[in-house]
């Protein structure tokens, strides 16, 4: 069985969805957890309660990843609480779907790129500065970066850029034994835009039709890979992007 005992993990955007699933998985494996949230304090407190009930150590830190000073403070508070950082998951992001290239606005572009690109870049930069030797850095990308879908130009573009940084960072800090990888989930059930989307929605049905396994990705599917990348078994895997979509065309 994998163990993350004596490890400290920082997961951005971990008050809900994929970030929550990864935080709770790491806690179940024995890691101390830094839950990050931007606005939803109530959800962050729920995650803290869940992790505390597992017997793991946990703190919640409010920080907006679009603000570099907030990112720096997030890492500083993590080290103040636990003394070190061994695992960083750059997960915070927002979606923008079903929007043709001819229709997106400057405001929409700026907001998505501010969170998904700027936020990811400075989270990964701070991770590189603060993570312990032999640590693990993981970026949560999107299958829109591998299977271009109409209406996803802004979102897919914003998730593509940090994948390049993953490969660069793996080369720049690999000498410290640190691995840097990205997870590329397919459309994830019950998260983001799918939280309120009905299962009879034409878009949902189209995605389902493209899946040979007859379902969308789940948060546990992604947490499984996050567990692998955080542990010893992936110690010589770096600069890689692992697609988790069950062979879907999306």
For the cut 80, the answer to whether the pLDDT of residue 229 exceeds it is: yes
Q: What is the DSSP string of 189-223?
A: TTSGGGTT--TT-HHHHHHHHT-TTSS-B-HHHHH
Q: Is 37 exposed, middle or buried (0-12, 13-18, 19+ CB in 10 A)?
A: buried
User: What is residue 188's DSSP assignment?
Assistant: B
Q: What is the pLDDT of residue 197?
A: 87
Q: Residues 50-68: what's their mean pLDDT?
A: 98
pLDDT bucket at 51, cuts 50 / 70 / 90: very high
Choice among 155, 234, 248, 250 that is catalytic: 155
For the cut 90, the answer to whether the pLDDT of residue 154 exceeds it is: yes
Q: Locate 111 and state its tokens.
A: 């907001």
What Cα–Cα distance (Å) separates residue 215 from each residue in 9, 17, 54, 140, 212? 30, 17, 30, 20, 8
Q: Residues 79-96: what's their mean pLDDT?
A: 98
Residue recorded with tokens 């830190």: 61
Q: β-pairing, 58-62 with 179-185?
A: unpaired
Choice among 142, 143, 211, 248 that is catalytic: 142
Active site residue 164: no
- Residue 96's nearest CA partner among 83, 78, 110 is 110
Q: What is the DSSP string of 61-88?
A: EE--TTSHHHHHHHHHHHHHHHS---EE
Q: Residues 28-33: what's their mean pLDDT?
A: 98
Choice among 118, 159, 182, 250 that is catalytic: 159
Q: Is the dihedral of CA 146, 245, 118, 113 positive or negative?
A: positive
User: What is residue 117's DSSP assignment?
Assistant: I
pLDDT in tens, 108-139: 999 999 999 999 999 999 999 999 999 999 99
Choice among 141, 143, 211, 234 that is catalytic: 141
Active site residue 159: yes
**What SS3 state is found at 46?**
helix
Domain 8-243: assigned CATH number: 3.40.50.720
Q: Residues 23-45: what's their mean pLDDT?
A: 98
What's the whole-model pTM score?
Answer: 0.96
Q: Is 204 exposed, middle or buried (0-12, 13-18, 19+ CB in 10 A)?
A: middle
Active site residue 121: no
For the cut 80, the answer to whether the pLDDT of residue 1 exceeds it is: no
Active site residue 79: no
């Amino acid at each position: 069985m994998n163990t993350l005992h004596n490890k400290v993990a920082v997961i951005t955007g971990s008050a809900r969805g994929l970030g929550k699933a990864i935080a709770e998985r790491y806690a179940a494996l024995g890691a101390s957890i830094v839950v990050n949230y931007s606005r939803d304090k109530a959800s962050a407190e729920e995650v803290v309660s869940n992790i505390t009930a597992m017997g793991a150590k946990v703190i919640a830190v409010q920080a907006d990843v679009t603000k570099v000073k907030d990112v720096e403070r997030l890492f500083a508070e993590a080290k103040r609480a636990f003394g070190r950082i061994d695992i960083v998951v750059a997960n915070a992001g927002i979606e923008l779907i079903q929007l043709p290239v001819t229709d997106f606005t400057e405001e929409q572009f700026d907001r998505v790129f501010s969170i998904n690109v700027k936020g990811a870049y400075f989270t990964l930069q701070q991770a590189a500065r603060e993570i312990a030797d032999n640590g693990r850095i993981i970026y949560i990308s999107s299958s829109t970066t591998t299977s271009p879908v109409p209406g996803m130009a802004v979102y897919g573009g914003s998730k593509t850029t940090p994948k390049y940084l993953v490969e660069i960072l793996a080369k720049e800090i690999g000498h410290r034994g640190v691995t840097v990888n990205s997870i590329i989930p397919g459309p994830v059930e019950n998260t983001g835009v799918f939280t309120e989307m009905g299962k009879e929605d034409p878009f949902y049905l189209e995605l389902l039709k493209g899946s040979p396994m007859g379902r969308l990705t789940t948060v546990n599917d992604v947490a499984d890979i996050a567990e692998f990348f955080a542990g010893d078994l992936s110690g010589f895997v770096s600069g890689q992007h692992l697609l988790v979509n069950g062979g879907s065309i999306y």
